[in-house]
């Protein structure tokens, strides 16, 4: 957040290695840089630069469960060079994706939690470094970005900046800021073919992620608004601005659409109103910081062959799907079934080129796979270190073709070890979701292809819990599902039965058009 460290990197897929360059602006006695499962300093894989006051050392180290540092017997962070410059010290080193060293982090597709710590005093040995006393931090990135060729922009490309109007960032750790923008009257249909972030200089560490949403076309007008998204002053109607046009998260680059497709906006049947949402992350609680960040859209009047669409896969937002408290890896699965794709997709199929995974605070891992004729054929997107605090639209390494009769299966893994009550599905931040927004072309009428467990089987579950339980649990049908879940005593039996029920009970399928009308 103070701008002391700057990381650049490139990926060599032929050599299966990442080259890192760290610029350290105000070097004291060294630093730690590395990776860990969820950004903790225990059980971390670290490159350490340290000085005893006269000599400097560099080495590959790891920390144990107590946070004690150890030199790694196999040195896998390879130092390529170090040079002083007016702006600071540049440190260059490389690391293979996979090292076959049990103490090393395996670099995979998806989110990587990078950790850093500044050494403020000289240290005589690596073991003498006390991790708990270090001024450190965490940054999430997608290290292994796909090598895509950047398409040429047409000569009639125009740009439009959707940016915050010089707002004062609130002096609190987390703020979601909402700002309404109106397109000019009579704005004809265009294709968005690329977008990129516009970040106010000096705020690079505060702007966490940003999204531009288009409002629902069924309303003629939307009120203007500029303020926190959770404010009581926010007009109710802004909740109908949910169609994602662009999404950016820290560490992401510009987003390009494939040459054959663009996102339609403007013209008939399309709302003129857009909502910008910015998540400010201000852990040092700076006061009075002004910001005009946002997203720059590149669009063209020369329409491409296909409109790009967005489809929601995963679980329906319903309390029927719940996670017991105290679970370290509870799995829920949502289906887009063969019957739905058979009905809704064109014969030539669709092409998925990007994906944005989404859960709330308990989500730890999200995977979507494509299955054909009952066999898993290929992965659509997978993030084994998923974090709800880092959600970006990611381009896929290869385009995934989906044909009528294919199935798309989305599995989410949750951790509720810090909760004492069951966590139910729903829209609230303490409720859960399991979603993959896939970006594809050509656009079809299918906007949502999700499932949930059949409600009748949940009632049978509550009856069973009742029968095996000594205390009377109120499982009366007139009580809401979340209330029934909150009165379940979470012993091993009740947990295991729920887990296996989610595995085998029949599902209720939502195969929806955009207007929330289901395909027959």
Which residues form the catalytic set?
A: 176, 358
Q: Which two tokens stand for residue 380?
A: 């659509």
384 phi, psi to nearest 5 deg: -80, -10
Calpha distance 174→114 (Å, rounded): 20
Calpha distance 207→295 (Å, rounded): 12
Q: Which two tokens stand for residue 66?
A: 């107590």
Q: Under 8 Å CB-to-CB from 165, ≥6 apart: which residues?
A: 179, 226, 292
Facing residues of 63 across strands?
Answer: 69
Instruction: Give burial (CB, 10 Å; 0-12/13-18/19+) of 454.
Output: middle
On the question of a cis peptide bond just before residue 442, with omega within 30 degrees of 0, the verdict is yes
Place of tokens 């709330």: 360
Tally the C-alpha atoms within 13 A of residue 293's C-alpha that lie toward its C-beta.
29
What angle separates helix 455-468 from helix 492-504, to the nearest 10 degrees? 160
Which residue, among 149, 413, 105, 120, has the nearest Cα to 258 in the 3D structure? 149
Calpha distance 227→231 (Å, rounded): 7
Calpha distance 280→209 (Å, rounded): 7
DSSP state of 54: S
8 A C-beta contact, residue 137 and residue 113: no
409 phi, psi to nearest 5 deg: -115, 120
Distance between first and last Cα of the chain: 52
- As a three-state string, the secondary structure of 418-478 is CCCCCEEECCCCCCECCEEEEEEECCCCEEEEEEEECHHHHHHHHHHHHHHCCCCCCCCCC
């Amino acid at each position: 957040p103070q701008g002391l460290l700057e990381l650049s990197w490139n990926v060599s897929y032929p050599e299966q290695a990442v080259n890192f360059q760290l610029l350290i602006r105000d070097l004291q006695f060294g630093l730690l840089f590395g990776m860990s499962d969820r950004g903790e300093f225990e059980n971390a894989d670290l490159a350490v630069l340290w000085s005893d006051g006269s000599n400097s050392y560099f080495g590959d180290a790891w920390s144990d469960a107590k946070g004690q540092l150890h030199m790694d017997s196999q040195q896998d962070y390879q130092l390529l060079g170090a040079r002083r410059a007016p702006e600071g010290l540049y440190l260059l080193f490389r690391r293979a994706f996979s090292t076959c060293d049990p103490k090393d982090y395996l670099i995979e597709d998806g989110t990587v939690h990078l950790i850093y710590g500044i050494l403020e005093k000289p240290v005589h040995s690596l073991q003498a470094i006390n991790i708990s006393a270090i001024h450190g931090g965490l940054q999430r990135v997608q290290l292994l970005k796909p090598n895509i060729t950047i398409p040429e922009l047409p000569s009639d490309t125009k740009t439009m900046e959707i940016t915050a109007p010089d707002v004062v960032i609130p002096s609190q750790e987390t703020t979601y800021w909402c700002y309404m923008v109106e397109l000019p009257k009579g704005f004809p249909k265009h294709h968005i073919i690329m977008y990129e972030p516009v970040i106010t200089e000096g705020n690079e560490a505060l702007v966490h992620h940003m999204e531009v949403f288009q409002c629902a076309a069924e309303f003629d007008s939307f009120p203007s608004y500029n303020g926190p998204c959770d404010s009581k002053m926010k007009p109710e109607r802004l909740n109908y601005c949910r169609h994602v046009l662009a999404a950016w998260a820290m560490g992401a680059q510009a987003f390009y659409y494939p040459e054959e497709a663009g996102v339609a906006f403007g013209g008939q049947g399309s709302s003129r109103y857009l909502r910008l949402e910015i998540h400010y992350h201000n852990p040092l609680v700076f006061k009075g910081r002004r910001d005009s960040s946002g997203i720059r859209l590149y669009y063209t009047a020369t329409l491409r062959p296909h409109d790009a669409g967005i489809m929601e896969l995963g679980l329906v937002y319903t309390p029927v799907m719940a996670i017991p408290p105290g679970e370290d890896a509870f799995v829920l699965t949502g289906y887009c079934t063969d019957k739905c794709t058979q009905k809704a997709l064109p014969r030539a199929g669709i092409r998925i080129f990007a994906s944005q995974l989404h859960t709330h605070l308990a989500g730890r891992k999200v995977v979507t796979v494509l299955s054909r004729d009952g066999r898993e054929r290929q992965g659509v997107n997978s993030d084994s270190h998923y974090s709800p605090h880092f959600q970006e639209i990611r381009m896929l390494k290869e385009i995934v073709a989906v044909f009528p009769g294919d199935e798309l299966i989305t599995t989410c893994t949750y951790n509720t070890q810090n909760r004492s009550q069951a966590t139910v599905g729903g829209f609230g931040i303490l409720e859960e979701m399991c979603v993959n927004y896939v970006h594809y072309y050509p656009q079809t009428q299918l906007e949502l292809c999700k499932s949930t467990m059949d409600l009748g089987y949940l009632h049978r579950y509550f009856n069973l819990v009742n029968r095996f339980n000594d205390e009377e649990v109120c499982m009366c049908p007139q009580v809401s599902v979340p209330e029934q879940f909150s009165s379940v005593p979470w012993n091993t039996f009740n947990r295991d039965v729920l887990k296996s029920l989610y595995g085998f009970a029949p599902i209720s399928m939502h195969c929806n058009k955009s207007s929330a009308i289901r395909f027959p």
